[in-house]
Structure 1
Amino acid sequence: MGTLEFITKEDLEQFKQELFAELRRPTFKPPAGKDRQKPFIKSYEVRQLLGISPGTLLQLRKSGQIKFTRIGGLMYYKYEDIEAMMNKRV
């Protein structure tokens, strides 16, 4: 049979202090450059930026007012094009 070990209040207090110290230490640092805007964005992001509905975005695509690239079933838009549209609206 194995030996029995008892845990004292002091052991628990020490564990608590070590755990809190570990939790306070920052563990995640985003890679450099992650705060920059990504070059291509999806349809839902365009709608949020422009404050438009899916139907309005469809009309903008059909009329050629907004450029897009289709990859599979998803549509991507250049962020710089969307930014230019936002600047025109102001």
Structure 2
Amino acid sequence: MSVEVITKEDLQAFRLQLLGDIKQLLGEKTEVAKEWLKGTEVRKMLKVSHGTLQNLRIAGKLCYSKIGGTYYYRYKEIIGMLESGMEGVS
């Protein structure tokens, strides 16, 4: 039977590796984007005002769904708009 000695340095290295793995797992979960975003989330993402978001809706540059009094926008369309350079946004 062989005996292996574990030092404080070994435990510290294990702790750092474990924390890194946990952070990576948690980070992967937060990167998953929702399919639909509320207007407030879209405004923060695009860094635009309420009025600008409304103008994008009215001009037909941004498709939406309205449920009750809340507007919802597809995440993929927002990304597409950002990639196209958001032409026409004032």
Give the superposition deviation at 1:51: 1.1
- Number of residue pairs matched by the alignment: 62
Identity %: 34
* Other-structure match for 1:74: 70
Superposition TM-score, scaled by structure 1 size: 0.60
Superposition TM-score, scaled by structure 2 size: 0.60
Provide Cα deviations, 1:33-88, integer angstroms capped at 9, x if missing partner: 56410100010111111111000000110110100000111000000000001111
Unaligned runs of 5+ in 2: 1-24
Unaligned runs of 5+ in 1: 1-28
Aligned mates of 2:35, 2:83 — CA distance in 1: 17
Runs of 4+ in 1 over 3 A off after TM superposition: 32-35
Q: CA RMSD in A?
A: 2.2
Higher helix share: 2
Aligned mates of 2:49, 2:78 — CA distance in 1: 15
